[in-house]
Structure 1
Amino acid sequence: MAKATTIKIKLLSTADTGYFYVTRKNSRTMTDKMVKRKYDPIARKHVDFREAKIK
């Protein structure tokens, strides 16, 4: 069976609050780590979220 093109990833907050989003990305076109600027409700501001592995 073929390998899936989209994989699930966890976007972990860089504000060290432990808050995260779960999203998908195309692993063939986006080979580097994903970084998004999103809202962290614990820190109550927009911060960078970096890609981490889902355990």
Structure 2
Amino acid sequence: MRRKVVLACVDCLSRNYSTDKNKTENAERLEVRKFCKRCGAHTLHRETK
């Protein structure tokens, strides 16, 4: 079962990306380094609640 999640920048807290993940295989929060338009750099983005 795949579930839609939203990724937010750790530095400026802007919600830049949305993706989906397999909830049964990955119970913990998703963390990915992505480009943040607001910060202008590659930063860590975490799954929001």
Using structure 1 for the length normalisation, give the TM-score. Answer: 0.81
Provide the rounded CA distance (Å) in 2 between the counterparts of 1:49 and 1:39.
9
**1:19 deviation in Å?**
3.6
Equivalent in the alignment of 1:48: 44
Distance (Å, rounded) in 2 between the aligned partners of 1:29 and 1:19? 24
SS of 1:42's equivalent in the other structure is: coil
* TM-score, normalised via structure 2 length: 0.89
Deviation above 4 Å: which 4+ runs of structure 1?
A: none
**Unmatched runs of 5 consecutive residues or more in structure 1:** none
**1:18 deviation in Å?**
1.4
Residue 32, structure 1, aligned to residue 28, structure 2: yes
Paired residues, number? 49
Instruction: Indicate the RMSD between aligned Cα atoms, in angstroms.
Output: 1.1
List runs of 5+ in structure 2 lacking aligned partners: none
